[in-house]
Amino acid sequence: MLIAQISDPHVRPRGVLYHDIVDSNAMLMAAVRHLNTMTPRPDLVILSGDIVEKGEAAEYEVAREILAGIPMPLCVIPGNHDERDAFRAAFADHAYLPPSGPLSYTIGDRGPVRIVALDVTIPGAHHGIIDDERAAWLEQVLAAEPDRPTLIVMHQPPFDTGIPYMDPYACRNGARMAEIVARYPNVERIVCGHLHRAMQIRFGGTLLCTAPSTTTTIALQLDRAATDATYLEPPALLLHHWKGDTGLVTHHIMIGNYPGPYSFA
């Protein structure tokens, strides 16, 4: 089973640039084209939040038009830049989304790996949280299939990265989530967005990784005095490859055309 993960496209209304600098819409189109040229194609595509920048209906309209170019099944979760009601309205045809409350759900009919999407966003805030409601929901759904390979998807990562201008907006109460996940060794991976960077960490007895953005890269600055900074590095996506004999292998793939291929390895 092949699961592609794209994240943080920050779509804007037609003709508007992301932060007046970047054509984020064109970059999401490039990501869609890249997904469609992959051989073999992914069985499922995950978009792990911040689909749009301002949570506006005009942005979601553009996002849906671009995402319509993905022929594979697509599952989405909101990020801190998404607006919950507008998100729910924009993806009303996605039957897996709940009609109210946090947009958490499970998908189990797309292959051997079950998808558990955990919405940790808080309307009006940039950080996420594992509160009583979310903790109880996660425990319940993991307990329902304790032997099935499972991939947990969320937006804000539940750990501190050391980047001073990002960590205040992490998912809080991460230790509570780690305690729950540690009881279920069938959790193959936790995947997040939000950071616009690829990172890996051991978490709750499994591996947690964050996806790069299809648009911009947040600077890796570990100095406590560092201030906000972003680069226009090559955009990328993650490909999670499930095989029964190895489990889940995660690949970092650059989006775009580069010199090659050459006849050596």
Q: pLDDT tens per residue, the chain (265 residues)? A: 999 999 999 999 999 999 999 999 999 999 999 999 999 999 999 999 999 999 999 999 999 999 999 999 999 999 999 999 999 999 999 999 999 999 999 999 999 999 999 999 999 999 999 999 999 999 999 999 999 999 999 999 999 999 999 999 999 999 999 999 999 999 999 999 999 999 999 999 999 999 999 999 999 999 999 999 999 999 999 999 999 999 999 999 999 999 999 999 9
The boundaries of the domain holding residue 194 are: 2-254
What pairs with residue 107 in β-bridges?
115
Which contiguous run of DSSP H or E holds residue 46? strand 44-48
Q: Where are the beta strands (DSSP E) in 121-229?
A: 128-129, 150-153, 171-172, 187-192, 199-203, 206-210, 217-218
pLDDT of residue 256: 92
123 part of a folded domain: yes
Number of structural domains in the chain: 1
Helix (H) or strand (E) holding 57: helix 57-67
CATH of the domain at 18: 3.60.21.10
Residue 262 included in any domain: no
> Residue 32 domain-assigned?
yes
CA distances from 202 to 84, 142, 208 (A): 30, 19, 6
Strand partners, 105: 117
DSSP string of 2-40, one letter each residue: EEEEE----B-STT--BTTTB-HHHHHHHHHHHHHH-SS
Report CA 157 to chain centroid distance, whole Å. 10
Distance CA 205, CA 229 (A): 32
Whether 259 maps to a domain, the answer reads no
Question: For residue 6, which phi and psi values (nearest 5 degrees)?
Answer: -110, 160
Of the candidates 260, 258, 255, 263, the one whose C-alpha atom is nearest the C-alpha of residue 33 is 255
Note whether residue 108 is domain-resident: yes
User: In the prediction, which pLDDT does 82 show?
Assistant: 98
* Residue 106 resides in a domain: yes
**Token pair for 182:** 């540690």
Q: Is residue 222 part of a domain?
A: yes
Q: Is 260 a member of any domain?
A: no
pTM of the model: 0.97
